[in-house]
Amino acid sequence: MAEPAVAEPPNADPLTPERVFREHAPRVYNLARRMLGNDADAEDVTQDVLLQVVRKLDTFRGDSALSTWLHRVTVNAALAARRKRSRREDGRVYDPLESFTDDGHHAGHVRPWPRLPESPVLDREEANLIETAIARLPEMYRDVLVLADVEQLQNPEIADMLGLSLPAVKSRLHRARLMMRETLSRHYEERLS
């Protein structure tokens, strides 16, 4: 894959290993950890990806596009690590749309959550809850949700990275959000009651 060749402003600090580490390691590590659901594999991926960057530092004329490039390389490395691990998920995947009756009504009571601020700041309990909910998603849904809703990538970019069609990305993302909603509902409904 070609590295980005986007010039930085003339007064920008040079790309050094320390700067790559400081500005990019946490993001690479967290993306890998959320995709793989495993700290040890995330460490391996982070190390591989950042070593690639540092070994090619002289080929980067700037890091404006480095973040985008890193997303792609990290996703590829995480998918490769998962293939190597070759753990297959088995069992039927639960479909949240099954919580509707045959004639299309809500099967159970739909309860509200407490009012959340526009930009919520999560406490440790909420952050852990969301991390756990993400880790429990089936991989095919987890990858898309992490890239779309945590990393804030656009759907076409995700489709390109994962080798999926755009409708497939949207379908998986929607299912993932519905699964997350159900898990989070148990927490937020309790808080309200």
Partner 1 sequence: MTLTCRRVAELLIEYVEGTMCPEKSAELQRHLCGCVPCAIYMHTYKDTIRVTHALPDAPMPPEFAARLLSMLKSQDCSSGE
Ranges within 109-128 binding partner 1 (CB under 8 A): 109-113, 116, 118-122, 126-127
Smallest gap from Cβ 69 to partner 1, in A, equals 17
Helices (H), the chain: 17-36, 39-55, 66-85, 124-136, 139-145, 155-162, 166-192
H/E/C letters for each residue in 48-76? Answer: HHHHHHHHCHHHCCCCCCHHHHHHHHHHH
Q: How far apart are CA 13 and CA 57, in angstroms?
A: 13
Q: How far apart are CA 8 and CA 130, in angstroms?
A: 36
What letter represents residue 146's amino acid? Answer: V
Judged by CB, which is closer to partner 1: 6, or 135?
A: 135
185: its two tokens: 């509902």
Ranges within 30-89 binding partner 1 (CB under 8 A): 30, 33, 39, 43, 46-47, 50-51, 54-55, 57-58
Ranges within 145-184 binding partner 1 (CB under 8 A): 145, 149-150, 152, 170, 173-174, 177-178, 180-181, 184
- Tell me which residue of 81, 69, 77, 72 sits closest to 20, measured CA to CA: 69
Smallest gap from Cβ 73 to partner 1, in A, equals 15
Smallest gap from Cβ 90 to partner 1, in A, equals 26
Provide the binding-site residues for partner 1, judged by CB under 8 A.
16-18, 20-21, 25-27, 29-30, 33, 39, 43, 46-47, 50-51, 54-55, 57-58, 97, 100, 103-106, 109-113, 116, 118-122, 126-127, 130-131, 134, 145, 149-150, 152, 170, 173-174, 177-178, 180-181, 184-185, 188
